[in-house]
């Protein structure tokens, strides 16, 4: 049995959540994954994963073994990356995470172009609207918009993202256009909760900061739903500029109160300290950071 491949198979099963999903991730057959796991458990003399027809979970022994296996596989990947770096050829797998809308509009096209330039590099893209624990979920690089919570990560600042207020032409025709933050008390507001409060919005920063109460008629934790509510004329919403720029260009939404926008939020490329030993990771972080710094998020 190829022990290293068995460790990779075990990790893939745990990360993917099922044997069939692991086979797809490893690009191998389901019977091969089943046989590899059975052979590994047989050689170790312990059950690593309890399996039923509906679910699977690690045993206590399996949890310890997977943790050690990750360290072994990561160390080998680092060694391979260092050798590749000496040869100047990026290769290997890079795992990247970003929010769904940002990943779809900016990260995915960049990754596609990166893979055309470096065909020996493969990617895992995790696009989710939540803060991902890079260490816990085995992710190499994250694109973070907003204040950083984990000080143990290395952060490469790439700029600040503009926050805007917008509404549909129909809404503004019916309810009027607010000119200043105080006007919002007379308007219906849509709260995209990962970005803003559903009870009060802040404008400006520092000594000029002004917080005003709002009346939220709709709260939504997903950006597409909140944007669609604005487009449908339900109220005024606040978003990151790139999230609504296409609809503004199509004149289906209009910016309002451009002289009184909420404070912009920082954007960073983050990664674990030791992760840049790989040539592929270093090249990706360098090029992604450079590309984002010159990108116009409109």
Q: Above 90 in pLDDT, residue 125?
A: yes
Architecture of 163-263 per CATH? 3-Layer(aba) Sandwich (3.40)
- Fold annotation for 88-161+265-298: D-Maltodextrin-Binding Protein; domain 2 (3.40.190)
- Contact between residue 223 and residue 129 where contact means Cβ atoms under 8 Å apart: yes
What tokens were used for 164?
A: 């805007």
Section 28-38 average pLDDT: 91
Q: What is the pLDDT of residue 251?
A: 95
pLDDT confidence of 17, banded at 50, 70, 90? confident
Residue 276 above 70 pLDDT?
no
pLDDT at 218 > cutoff 90: yes
Q: Is the pLDDT of residue 46 over 80?
A: yes
Given this chain, do its domains 88-161+265-298 and 163-263 carry the same CATH topology? Answer: yes
Determine the number of helices (DSSP H) and then strands (DSSP E) in the chain.
10, 14
The domain ranges of the chain are 1-83, 88-161+265-298, 163-263
Percent of the chain at pLDDT above 90?
58
User: What distance in Å separates the CA atoms of residue 158 and residue 143, rounded to the nearest whole number?
Assistant: 10
> pTM value?
0.66
Contacts of residue 154, Cβ cutoff 8 Å, sequence gap at least 6: 270, 271, 272, 273
- Cα–Cα distance for residue pair 160/162, rounded to 1 Å: 6
Report the candidate in 35, 44, 92 with the shortest Cα–Cα distance to residue 68: 44
Q: Report the C-alpha gap between 192 and 198 in whole angstroms.
A: 8
Indicate the CATH number for domain 1-83: 1.10.10.10
Q: Provide the pLDDT confidence category of residue 85 given band limits of 50, 70 and 90.
A: low
Give the neighbor-by-neighbor strand order of the sheet with 188-192: 215-220, 188-192, 236-240, 163-167, 254-256
């Amino acid at each position: 049995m190829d022990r290293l491949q068995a460790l990779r198979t075990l990790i893939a099963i745990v990360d993917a959540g099922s044997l069939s999903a692991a086979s797809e991730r490893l690009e191998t057959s389901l019977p091969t994954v089943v046989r590899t796991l059975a052979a590994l458990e047989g050689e170790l003399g312990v059950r690593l994963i309890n399996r039923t027809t509906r679910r699977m979970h690690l045993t206590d022994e399996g949890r310890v073994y997977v943790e050690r296996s990750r360290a072994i596989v990561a160390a080998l990947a680092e060694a391979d990356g260092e050798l590749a770096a000496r040869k100047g050829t990026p290769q290997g797998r890079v795992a990247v995470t970003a929010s769904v809308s940002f990943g779809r509009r900016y990260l995915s096209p960049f990754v596609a172009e990166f893979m055309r330039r470096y065909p020996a590099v493969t990617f895992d893209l995790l696009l989710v609207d939540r803060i991902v624990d890079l260490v816990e979920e085995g992710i190499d690089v994250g694109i973070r918009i907003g204040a950083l919570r984990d000080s143990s990560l290395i952060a490469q600042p790439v700029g600040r993202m503009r926050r805007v207020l917008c509404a549909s032409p129909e809404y503004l025709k019916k309810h009027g256009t607010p000119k200043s933050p105080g006007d919002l008390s007379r308007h219906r507001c849509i709260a995209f909760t990962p970005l803003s409060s559903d009870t009060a919005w802040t404008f400006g920063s520092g000594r000029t900061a002004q917080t005003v109460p709002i009346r939220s008629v709709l709260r939504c934790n997903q950006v597409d739903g909140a944007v669609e509510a604005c487009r449908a004329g339900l109220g005024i919403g606040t978003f990151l500029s790139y999230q609504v720029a296409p609809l503004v260009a199509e004149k289906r939404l209009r910016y309002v109160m451009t002289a009184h926008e909420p404070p912009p939020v920082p954007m960073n490329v983050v990664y674990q300290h030791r992760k840049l030993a790989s040539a592929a990771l270093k090249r990706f972080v360098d090029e992604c950071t450079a590309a984002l710094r010159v990108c116009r998020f409109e």
